[in-house]
Structure 1
């Protein structure tokens, strides 16, 4: 399951980068993690009253929080794929369950 999801994110990311002329060098993967975490944090701050909502409703902010969480998950999987990290083994070792 995790491998399939990782590969689906890779396919989508590759198409996006090609369509937009982006170069996904080794630094790009970790920089995107930081960017997406920053965007998630920004929405979280808005949702919890620590930032301006720009007129967005709580429902809109929760949807944005969900979207940013999905982006972060995708970029974690892209980072792991690019660096040949075995997340399934690490989850089993660290969290003591087998994903899937």
Structure 2
């Protein structure tokens, strides 16, 4: 089997992978704390509405935010994922996924 390109050190690659996963897990944890905080504050402010109403508001905010972030990454900041696939696209998608 032929390999093209230089052979990478597996220890360095593993360390990089662990660092990326730790960063993604921290982003997801911070995002979860933010969404739970938004839900708790909406429950406090909208006491006369039910819990389901506040859950739907959080879902609405989340949907709008994800659409805006995806549009920003796809059209303004990041490379177009269909013509330039690769590591730079993965970084932007991971940030959007963490939200």
User: TM-score, length-normalised on structure 2?
Assistant: 0.39
User: TM-score, length-normalised on structure 1?
Assistant: 0.38
